Structure 1
Amino acid sequence: MIFRRLCFFVLLLVAPGVALAQLTIEISGAGAKRIPVAIANFDGESQVPQSLTEVIRADLNRSGLFQLIEAGPQPVPENVAPDYAGWRGRGADALLYGSLVRRPDGSLDARFLLVDIVKQARLTGLSINFRPEYGRATAHRIADIVYEQLLGEPGIFSTRIAYVLKAGGRYRLQVADADGFNPQDALISSEPIISPRWSPDGSKLAFVSFELKKPIVYVMDLATARRTVVANYKGSNSAPAWSPDGRQLAVVLTKDGLSQIYVMNADGSNLRRLMQSPGIDTEPVFAPDGQSIYFTSDRGGQPQTYKVPVSGGAAQRVTFSGNYNVSPRISADGKYLAVITRGDGGFQLAVQDLATSQVQILTTSSKDESPSFAPNGRYLLYATDAGGRGVLSVSSRDGQIKQRLSQQQGDVREPAWGPFNR
């Protein structure tokens, strides 16, 4: 049996042995049509502290797009063709099976096959080399491959999220896997931390810290934990946003009066004001093509989302449904705009189709904030309130699939979904 071989390396902020309280996940809802798939137990999983099979199953189940078919306790042999008729009889359309093989250097090869039960054909066969302590990361990678093979779009299980946890009078800027596991502290402070934003390559975070008793914009290299001040002007410095190529940042400054949007190089140089506005302009975000910026403004009397060319010029209003639409975020394909809208139910997450201007409210909660698209555009991460404390939630773009990520203690706010791993 021939496997295409991959080597998989994982970047961590601290040593794998450092454990922090992880987010727990509650899942509700599912896609209208789910793909029935069987995930057989991998042979040799006793060699790793965490079952890869369990992680893969949890990832696919969490997506809401797959129906997991019972596969039984025994691994499927690699050297014989699977019993297609038998698996079809169980209701499976696809089957994933494989094994873990140890190398002389102590690393492991995760060898696996994904087959189409209906067509009786192999979809892919790979071998991923990894260290035992990185079993979860390898399982996420395999789940991504299954997701992409069966749905035709990239999976997001290997991506990371950033958020701010407030507990015990301290603020922690944390980075975790997309499923809430493996949380790592990027920064701990006794003063507020807000607005973390991932660089397009996932190597840096821009954020705002109040540790010097005023809001200052920093950029942190996650590999080295080195921080650089990129905006520390008179007044407030806030709301950083990366350009798609990672070379520029948009920020909001009050150095010339009201909150206004400025664009600068990613190192803080070459600052220029984007517009001359009589109102408050804030919460900028670059369009995926890098040619324009969406932002929130009260220039029309009520907070709405607008769009302006990065080169400057007249701003164009984008949101018209309701009298309050803030915190704009754009899907990676540029087709959808997420906002926090205010209605009879309070502050709720909504998505607007930019081609048709059709708006759909995705949640029934009343204190939603800080939306962030997954890099494949199918899901949205956002903060909301549950029992008087902040939690993170995920909704599919159509509102059918819901997840809640929460901790037993502390408020979790300011989420940002990272890019695809490169």
Structure 2
Amino acid sequence: MSVFNRLATFLGLRAILLTSFTALSAVSGVAHADLTVDITGVGSNLYPIAIAPFANEDTAQAQISAIVRADLQNSGRFSNINAGGQPVSESDSVDLAGWKGKGADAFVGGSVNKLANGDYDVRFRLYDTVKQQSLGGLALTSSQANLRMTAHKISDFIYQKLLGVRGAFATRLSYVQRVGNRYQLKISDSDGQNEHIALSSPEPIISPAWSPDGTKVAYVSFERKKPIVYVHDLPTGQRVMISDQKGNNSAPAWSPDGKHLAVALTITGNTQIYLVNADGSGLRRLSQTGGIDTEPSFSPDGQSVYFTSDRGGQPQIYKMSVQGESAGAAQRVTFHGSYNTSPQVSPDGKYLAYISRVGGAFKLYEQDLSTGDATGLTDTVHDESPTFAANGQYILYATESGGRAVLAAVSVDGATHQVLSVKGGDVSHPSWGPFMQ
């Protein structure tokens, strides 16, 4: 069992706050490698689609059509119909009836052409073979370094056109990995590829959280031998210390407008929720109890803060006004089970993802906030750190699989499961980034 999930076996709120910080130092080292995706379940009613090789795509380092196929396959919503090896460009005449006869309800063709300045002109067209019509396409200019992201944008277009929901392939992930004696905060594409290191430290890094515009990540670093909250600007690599109050500074969460962060601080001895401006100024206390209040998470409209509290004797999830409990007492949200932590609200505000202790196991649950109905989404027993995709269709979380700490994703209906892992190593503390501006 990994150190992350040994923590979970005795996870009280005080253990969350006091033990998890130091326990991370015991994680075994991992090899440097991209995350790999293994699908362990698929949904029903898969949409059959054929994606032909793009014309001239062999001139680019990234094979656009293969990335799009993988995106759609991994979503658990599509099945790939073999399109053969013959390239088809967006301007070629396509036998839509023939592709329908081969079982494809949609067809995609495109091209990749290198420009004089070294960039690439990427074009594609999507067809509905049932209605025998074009559904449109895009012409995108991409640098060589951004070809994978360009492919993800194509996947997003297809996902939205065919399913009516915005795709989240062109978003990014952050997670923590230990390599040798160093901890690394890593950023990758949504499929775990194209990773790079945002921060490397000999001390633990935990709790990364994306800013709403996708340009910054807040996190907790122990590089000064105590937990301190930083905000890291990804384009420049510069960072700002946001909270270095007495005691522990933990669990940063961005407000939807990006102007504030909620943090959990032990200024008064017991952990409480505070609000701070994004530059570290204007600290203001929100929760007002003698117990432990931690793990804040904003509602999408920015008017409420969800958090974990033991004020009732056992940890449960509560909601208070962004003005704090001085404007009214917090309301309990979770009633299914006696031990619930780690709240995250879906982008549409309809669902709450959280971790529930069920018979000694820690499992990912989803609650309908309008009805209070709660549903278990996983068959794993050491789940932690849930985070929604920007389109609200998937939840990424940390768990254990095959005796290793991995990241996993599940569709909100529980039908599709994925495991994202690094061979020979553990990864933890995932955060799924927003739609890119």
TM-score w.r.t. the length of structure 1 is: 0.94
Asked if residue 405 in structure 1 is aligned to residue 405 in structure 2, the reply is no
1:253 lines up with 2:265 in the alignment: yes
Match of residue 278 from structure 1: 290
Q: Which amino acid aligns with 2:202?
A: S
Query: What secondary structure is seen at the aligned counterpart in 2 of 1:398?
Result: coil
Per-residue CA shift, 1:101-156, capped at 9, x if unaligned? 23222322111110111111111122111123332121111111111111111111
Mark the runs of 5 or more structure 1 residues left unpaired by the alignment. 1-18
Alignment of 1:66-81 (within 5 A): 66-76=78-88, 78-81=90-93
1:319 — aligned with what? 334
1:140 equivalent in alignment to 2:138: no
1:293 has 2:305 as partner: yes
Deviations 1:55-105 (A, max 9, x none): 000000000001111111112354443112111101111111011123222
2:43 to 21, 25, 31: 31
**d(CA) in 2 for partners of 1:135, 1:269:** 39
Matches of 1:54 and 1:90 in 2, distance apart? Answer: 20
**Greater CA deviation, 342-351 or 245-254?**
342-351
Q: Structure 2 unaligned segments of length 5 or more: list them.
A: 1-30
Mapping for residues 379-390 of structure 1, pairs under 5 Å: 379-390=394-405
Question: Which one has more relative contact order, counting CA pairs under 8 Å at least 6 apart?
Answer: 2
Q: Give the match for residue 363 of structure 2.
A: 348
Aligned residues: 404
Indicate the SS of the match to 2:152. Answer: helix
Q: Per the alignment, do residues 119 and 364 of structure 1 end up closer, same or farther by CA in structure 2, a change over 3 Å counting?
A: same
Of residues 369, 373, 391 in structure 2, which corresponds to 1:376? 391
For 1:121-270, list aligned pairs within 5 A: 121-270=133-282
Confirm or deny: 8 A CA contact 2:32 2:179 kept in the other structure: no
Question: Given that residues 345 and 364 in structure 1 are in contact (C-alpha distance below 8 angstroms), is that contact kept between their aligned partners in structure 2?
Answer: no
Per the TM alignment, residue 235 of structure 1 is displaced from its structure 2 partner at its CA by 0.5
Which structure shows the bigger proportion of residues in helix conformation?
Answer: 2
Task: Give the whole-Å Cα distance in 1 for the aligned partners of 2:404 and 2:105.
Answer: 42
Relative to structure 1, the CA distance from residue 253 to residue 80 in structure 2 (aligned partners, 3 Å threshold; closer, same or farther) is: closer
Q: Describe the shift of the 1:203–1:79 C-alpha distance in structure 2 as closer, same or farther (beyond 3 A).
A: closer
1:91 pairs with 2:141: no
Q: Give the conservation status (yes or no) of the 8 Å contact 1:392–1:405.
A: yes
Contact 1:230 1:266 in 2 (8 A): yes
C-alpha spacing 1:20/1:47, structure 2 compared with 1 (3 Å): farther
Cα distance in 2 for partners of 1:259, 1:152 equals 43
- The one-letter amino acid paired with 1:106 is G
Contact 1:156 1:375 in 2 (8 A): yes
Deviating more after overlay: 386-395 vs 356-365: 386-395
In the TM superposition, residue 215 of structure 1 has moved relative to its aligned partner by 0.5
Kept in 2, the 8 Å contact 1:49–1:133? The answer is no
- State the distance in 2 between where 1:132 and 1:118 align: 35
Alignment correspondent of 1:3: none
Task: Give the fraction of aligned pairs with identical amino acids, expressed as a percent.
Answer: 56
Q: From the superposition, tell whether residues 47 and 137 of structure 1 become closer, same or farther in structure 2 (CA, over 3 Å).
A: same
Q: Is the 8 A contact 1:171 1:192 kept in 2?
A: yes
Secondary structure, aligned partner of 1:258? coil
Q: Aligned residue for 1:366? A: 381
Q: Is the 8 A contact 1:172 1:189 kept in 2?
A: yes
In structure 2, what is the Cα distance between the partners aligned to 1:296 and 1:223?
33
The residue type paired with residue 107 of structure 1 is: D
What is the distance in 1 between the residues matched to 2:307 and 2:300?
Answer: 14
1:308 aligns with 2:320: yes
CA contact (8 A) 1:373 1:379 kept: yes
- After superposition, the Cα gap between the structure-2 partners of 1:44 and 1:20, relative to the gap in structure 1 and judged at 3 Å, is farther
Q: Alignment RMSD, CA only? A: 1.3
Letter in 2 for 1:23: L
Kept in 2, the 8 Å contact 1:20–1:184? The answer is no
